[in-house]
Amino acid sequence: MANIWKGLTAIGIVAGTLALAQPVAAQKPGGVLKMQHWDSPASMSIHEEATYSVVVPIMGVMNNLVIYDQHIAQNSLKDIVPDLAESWTWSEDGKELTFKLRPGVKWHDGSSATALTRSCS
């Protein structure tokens, strides 16, 4: 009998919580990103800095063409997944890497991002 009352109490608590819950608003562009961080990074360039003090705050602000799968603890080349890029291909000689961007990618000023080609010598 005590188990029945415990079950009914739990159901009552869940039902009461759901009745009082507020709807969640959709995210809007703009605003201020606030986060607590223990360090003051040397710069906010994720391409020039490789420390925790830069990567943690900037990952919420910038996208990369590709990233390592965040669900895999040990990174390897097979764990690279798309972020801004939908796909990528290497030229036959291995000196040119071409990324196909997702549709609708925009810069911070709202202008459309276009693909760039860089050759390795």
My answer on whether 40 and 90 are in the same domain is: no
CA–CA distance, 15 with 31 (Å, rounded to integer): 34
In a domain, 27, yes or no: no
Looking at residue 93, its pLDDT comes to 92
Backbone angles phi, psi at 27, to 5 degrees: -70, 145
Whether 97 and 50 map to the same domain: the answer is no
Domain that holds residue 86: 65-121
pLDDT tens sequence across 32-77? 777 777 777 788 777 777 777 787 777 777 788 888 888 888 888 8
> What does the block give as tokens for 11?
């159901």
Domain presence at residue 77: yes
With contact defined as beta carbons under 8 Å apart, do 60 and 34 qualify? no
Mean pLDDT score, 5-30? 66
**What is the value of pTM for the model shown?**
0.50
**107 lies in the same domain as 95:** yes
Give the pair of three-digit tokens for residue 45. 């360039």
- pLDDT score, position 14: 63
Number of separate domains in the chain: 2
Q: What percent of the chain has pLDDT over 90?
A: 2
Is pLDDT at 92 greater than 90 in this prediction? Answer: yes
Instruction: Say which CATH number the domain at 77 has.
Output: 3.90.76.10
52 and 72 inside one domain:
no
Is residue 4 situated within a structural domain? no
